[in-house]
Structure 1
Amino acid sequence: MASSSRSTLYENLKLVDTVAKVKTTVKELRRQKEISVDCEGNNLSREGTLDILIIGTVNRKVFLFDITKMGVSAFDAGLRDLLESGCDVMAKLMYDCRNDSDALMHLYDVKLAGVLDLQLVEIDSRRKSKQNHWFLKGLKKSIEVYDHDEKSERTKKNGTEQIEDAKRNGTTIWDKRPLSPDLKDYCAVDTVKLFSLLKVFRKKMEREKMLEASERYVDYFRSYETFPETKFYRHGFLPDEILRSNPRDPKVQYNDCQGCKKKFKRARLDLVNAGEKKRANFCSCCSRIITRIENQPIPSQSFA
């Protein structure tokens, strides 16, 4: 059996580090209608590593899949099929799935599907209540606002300190074995808390709309062949057309946004740069980035 432990944060935590354990665990997880999913790695993305994949269940069981040790064999043993199943089979609760999805696709050929991204659910709840809904809220902040408890906060703080120490020293942390107890608990907290956040939002959540939005979100980073300039894809704003669908009309001309490189209905924006007027196509999200970071005037138009 996988090694296991108990904590007040979770009912049971198991380390899954062999192919045999993967097969047994996946069989157990297939009984669930909803799981929570998170990934940890050094610069988690196609440009970094995916070292630990964490899956939680509604009854507070947490499974840490050691991808550093098993590599692609973990996915070949059943994880790929589990993660690629649609929401009609199993919904995957996540919070900002973009980097996770990018790493899974480009490092391990896993096309993540069936995601319900609670970062989108949270920002949509602010939109409905007429609050600011352009800025994305991180999971740490959402937990503080909607489901705060001191034990979880201390756990995240202890893990974060280890991560930051490694960065300052120019070393990596997620590929080192054995994982410290603090890092194991750090991994577990988020997947447990996702179920708590779901309870907070469930009654007012438009589930089908959020599932559709999550499909667009899960594809947002992984669909890039090459990434645009960093400031146009790694930022704290909600990207355009995520909460509202943008079905392609063959009769309408679409332009590439000159910032994020995504396609939108044709529009023109006037930008002022060093006193010289330039014309370029920018979506409203990238316009906000330019205005905020470069302190340029807000363009008079944005994409519809």
Structure 2
Amino acid sequence: MSASEYVLCADTEAVAAAVPVLSGYSHLVVDCEGDQLGCRGGRLSLLTITPIRAASDQVPTYIFDLLRLKRKNMRRVFDLLRDASRVKIFFDGRMDYSALWHEYDVHVVGVIDMQLADLHSRQARGETESKRLGRLRAYLPQNMITKKSGECRTLARLSSLASCVQEHLRTNESKGSGQQSLISPGTTTNAYLCSVDHKRWLERPLSQEQLGYAAKDVRLIGRIYEHFKAQNYLTENLPEQSERYVTHWKARQPEKDRYFNPHCLLPLDIIDYDARRPTKRCDGCERLLAVQCFPRETTSSEGIYCWVCNAVLRKKAYNKRKHDNAKRGRRRR
């Protein structure tokens, strides 16, 4: 993405120029970058915002440098995120929300999350049970899928931004939509995401590569939103579900290295939430969940775990056995 398509806001004058432009739009795409983003001890570096606009409307993407700007300089920008009359579009906004809330006391409202919308699209497209289990096979041990498929009935594997773009936009283009691809032909699913070292988000000056990466992310999210809207994948209850989803870490920030935090399975009680159901606490994700989210036999010496955390534990045990077997194999040589 060329530098002319985004504006780096690193001083009060640039912020003052950006706010009136963004204020003129009802739908804003939001994404954040940082070191250990949203985690305890992490740091938010960039806040990137672009509006959903007509193709003829030449409005740049705005990248706000939060290491250069003081909190008071960002007040009007943060007010846009707090404004319930504007729709804020994220793709897996959990860590973005965590960083904004815990570091800047910004409660983002009016959110719709495209990662959840992607899950709804699978049902709308008639995804089969075989395809659903196929997605899980890329994460969970094969024997858990084949021998314990009942334990997988409540599990759904989330797509990354790159995978979602590949699945929806490339398919759309292959059917002759005429839309220009934002990922070059032949590029692997995650290649465009692998060119930036995320540990360097706190370094200054920022490279053109880093700024282009941040700007491209929000453009991709915007394209996904427009495609999902055209295909009627944005369900009526998506805003309510998205609020539960992005505020996942509102009560506390996650520990970066805690095993139950970084995984690609949909947390339970996000889509099918019912406040009337009795709950109990999971010792893995540390959330209060409906009792239906737990196996019948839930008590063990290690604690009580929901279906998702049970799957994460099984994967951990599988990885350990695989590592130990490989280690023993090397010793025999």
TM band (smaller chain):
0.7 to 0.9
The answer as to whether partners of 1:255 and 1:281 remain within 8 angstroms in 2 is: no
Higher relative contact order (CA 8 A, sep 6+): 2
The code of the aligned residue for 2:80 comes to L
Verify: 1:93 aligned to 2:79, yes or no: no
The alignment's C-alpha RMSD in Å is 2.8
Q: In 2, distance between residues paired with 1:50 and 1:230?
A: 20
The code of the aligned residue for 1:39 comes to C
Structure 2 portions without partners, runs of 5+? 54-58, 133-154, 171-180, 320-333
- Partner of residue 169, structure 1: none
SS in 2 for 1:270: coil
- Partner of residue 241, structure 2: 213
- Partner of residue 73, structure 1: 72
The answer as to whether partners of 1:54 and 1:188 remain within 8 angstroms in 2 is: yes
Q: How does 1:121-270 map to 2 (within 5 A)?
A: 121-128=117-124, 129-131=126-128, 132=132, 134-148=156-170, 149=181, 150-151=183-184, 157=191, 160-163=194-197, 172-202=199-229, 203-224=231-252, 230-247=258-275, 249=276, 253-266=278-291, 269-270=296-297
Change in Cα spacing, 1:206 to 1:181, as seen in structure 2 (3 Å) is closer
- Partner of residue 22, structure 1: 15
Q: In 2, distance between residues paired with 1:40 and 1:244?
A: 30
Deviation by residue 1:213-250 (Cα, 9 ceiling, x = unmatched) = 10001110222366598222221100001112231x3x
SS in 2 for 1:119: helix
The structure whose residues are more often strand, as a share, is: 1
Fraction of identical pairs, as percent? 24
Deviation at 1:282, TM superposition (A): 2.0
- Partner of residue 293, structure 1: 316
The answer as to whether partners of 2:244 and 2:270 remain within 8 angstroms in 1 is: yes
TM-score by length of 2: 0.73
SS in 2 for 1:50: strand
Deviation by residue 1:114-140 (Cα, 9 ceiling, x = unmatched) = 111000000221244234271111001
Change in Cα spacing, 1:110 to 1:49, as seen in structure 2 (3 Å) is same
The structure whose residues are more often helix, as a share, is: 2
Change in Cα spacing, 1:295 to 1:205, as seen in structure 2 (3 Å) is same
How many residues align? The count is: 270
- Partner of residue 301, structure 1: none
Change in Cα spacing, 1:295 to 1:174, as seen in structure 2 (3 Å) is closer
Q: In 2, distance between residues paired with 1:29 and 1:74?
A: 16
Change in Cα spacing, 1:181 to 1:201, as seen in structure 2 (3 Å) is same
The answer as to whether partners of 1:105 and 1:111 remain within 8 angstroms in 2 is: yes
TM-score by length of 1: 0.79
Q: In 2, distance between residues paired with 1:142 and 1:113?
A: 24
SS in 1 for 2:194: helix
The code of the aligned residue for 1:57 comes to P
Q: In 2, distance between residues paired with 1:163 and 1:246?
A: 41
- Partner of residue 168, structure 1: none
The answer as to whether partners of 1:53 and 1:64 remain within 8 angstroms in 2 is: yes
The answer as to whether partners of 2:295 and 2:307 remain within 8 angstroms in 1 is: no
Q: In 2, distance between residues paired with 1:114 and 1:29?
A: 15
The answer as to whether partners of 1:269 and 1:282 remain within 8 angstroms in 2 is: no
Structure 1 portions without partners, runs of 5+? 7-11, 165-171, 297-304
